[in-house]
Structure 1
């Protein structure tokens, strides 16, 4: 079973969840879907395991032609999907017949949409994952975004793959319409390099998402930071700038302070480097990053590690059959 790529969209890629874990020390980040909430629910709609390989579409979606009868679902951003020109409902499993064409256009609301197909996408795993890491050319369809003319293989649908399954409205991520996002952060690992005024400014400022952002890092525009004595009077091996530190490991979601520019390290980000990380965005908040566009604003909210873990548990509880209307 398979589908053909007529138009690839803008960097549409094969991803699986949670991605390629255990190889960051060799330079391979987790990758995987940036909005795992929408991704996991899409798989449930078509009867797949929540982490099965599917498509992540960003800004502009693809046009594909199904070669066999298929159950599919589109979740996440509203890219105004149509099947042979007829509107396709989001958050619902739909039947496609051989030869029918699914077309996604620009993201009317949100940024990243997900296409799940019953039986999932069947490509060879690389280091235990099908997730595409574009900058190294690994995973997915030859390691890169989809290309026009490709045929994407899919697996055998499970018995529970049926049309008409829907995600309950209250179980869907609420994509903002006013271009303003509240993003949770946990202090650390290098919060002690920022002084009280710097912390206060960071948490009380609207930060604008820069157009110089991708799946490696989300660059933010805002005011300057101020530092503690520890960051200013330090051993020379730490570097000359207050934000420099001897090379250290970076957590996923770290707000990496490069000089005066904070960059949120997301799914394809580096594993280590010589800048401090005053805050970290928990993975349960990544869906908000995924659905935001350049020019939109973030207001950060400080939470504890326990609260971040509770967010993750709540999200996992939503990504189950309990959120599906049969």
Structure 2
């Protein structure tokens, strides 16, 4: 059992790839923001890459383990300690019953840290996933971020201490701003004129503090539109970025008036704004490790290139990356 002494900031249970197949019912996938770090944490402790684990952000929790365990911590460096003694990231570590794990020091680079335990967190699945979707109060522990006094169980595991992720297989979390974020044009790129596209791709975009696991709001220059954004039927709405309600892909850059919002893991499934670009899933780890005030620079890739990025990341997140 793990006892939550201090919960940290919106620490929650997630699994990967999350709640797949229910977006048409209004339930997004949720899951880890940085699936690269998440999957490697699980592999370190002998789990399947997608088993339920803990996601921390900005300030992590203080946890007391009441049984012997094998754990691993990846992602941003919150300077974890066991009973006050530093422990390494990207390595499986043996923990004795009664030890206290602390991750309460904010990282200097990156945002999110992952804690995996051999056997995986034992939480009741909801729509085939243990991922927390706090806005609907489902998944994880009672559908919410962890709270002081929560007690987590885990399944029996076969992890061993001393396994390490090869340096070449770790995401460059400390690369920091400016971040180059890949995007695919569409589905509504034909509503933006060429000057608008050029401006989007050549400008610096600042991540706003008004961002969360639903959407990442960006600050930058004005958008300009094609004629179809103005010469449209009334049901499309009055603003040039309005459109008849449509489905939103995960990763869509949703243009609400003049404000682009990247729809991330807990984002809405539909609405009445255009989506000129979409961030592919393999680039999400960069979003998950960026912080308000940092700069995004966008780079277009084709659908084939986006799919190749996802395949390459899957290859990295396998046992061959563990030494």
Per the shorter chain, which TM-score range? over 0.9
Secondary structure in structure 1 of the residue aligned to 2:145:
coil
CA distance in 2, matches of 1:19, 1:85: 33
Cα-Cα RMSD: 0.7
Deviation at 1:177, TM superposition (A): 4.2
CA distance in 2, matches of 1:151, 1:178: 35
CA distance in 1, matches of 2:211, 2:249: 18
Structure 1, gaps ≥5 residues long: none
CA distance in 2, matches of 1:189, 1:197: 18
Matches within 5 A, 1:1-326: 2-105=1-104, 106-158=106-158, 161-325=159-323
Secondary structure in structure 1 of the residue aligned to 2:180:
strand
Count of aligned positions: 322
Q: Is the 8 A contact 2:109 2:176 kept in 1?
A: no
Scaled by the length of structure 2, the TM-score of the pair is 0.99
Scaled by the length of structure 1, the TM-score of the pair is 0.98
CA distance in 2, matches of 1:178, 1:7: 28
Q: Is the 8 A contact 2:77 2:108 kept in 1?
A: yes
Q: 1:72-116 CA distances to partner (integer Å, 9 max, x unpaired)?
A: 000001111011111110000000001111100212220000000
CA distance in 2, matches of 1:4, 1:178: 33
CA distance in 1, matches of 2:107, 2:280: 25
Deviation at 1:176, TM superposition (A): 3.9
Secondary structure in structure 2 of the residue aligned to 1:288:
helix
Deviation at 1:323, TM superposition (A): 0.1
Q: 1:128 to 1:77 in 2, by over 3 A?
A: same
CA distance in 2, matches of 1:320, 1:277: 33
Structure 2, gaps ≥5 residues long: none
CA distance in 2, matches of 1:240, 1:129: 39
Q: 1:238-270 CA distances to partner (integer Å, 9 max, x unpaired)?
A: 000000000000000000000000000000000
Q: Is the 8 A contact 1:211 1:294 kept in 2?
A: yes
Deviation at 1:42, TM superposition (A): 0.2
